[in-house]
Amino acid sequence: MNFNFDLEIDLHGKTVDDVIPTLEEMFFVNSGKSIMIIHGRGSGILKKAVRDFVSSSTHIKGYAWGEDLNLPGSDGITVVYT
């Protein structure tokens, strides 16, 4: 299977405090793009923060969870459409 996204961001090793402003700017600057966000599975703190932010952001047109798209990495990925 081939998955093509306009942009990819890997958040491994980042904190929630670092990630949210980065995503906010990325969504605003990259209108009309598909973005694969790799937050990992881990303890779920970063995944939850990213998904909560994505689901309430006004800068995106849509989003999907990696596990719903059957992406490799499954629930460690969130896809955003800006």
Under the banding of pLDDT at 50, 70 and 90, the label for residue 3 is: confident
Instruction: Give residue for tokens 């890997």.
Output: 10
Q: What's the confidence (pLDDT) of residue 60?
A: 93
pTM score: 0.91
Query: What are the pLDDT digits (tens) for 46-66?
Result: 999 999 999 999 889 999 999
| Cα-to-chain-centroid distance, residue 39 | 7
Query: What are the pLDDT digits (tens) for 14-46?
Result: 999 999 999 999 999 999 999 999 999 877 899
- Cα four-point dihedral sign 41, 44, 50, 56: positive
Structural domains for the chain: 7-81 (3.30.1370.110)
Facing residues of 1 across strands? none
H or E segment to which residue 82 belongs: none
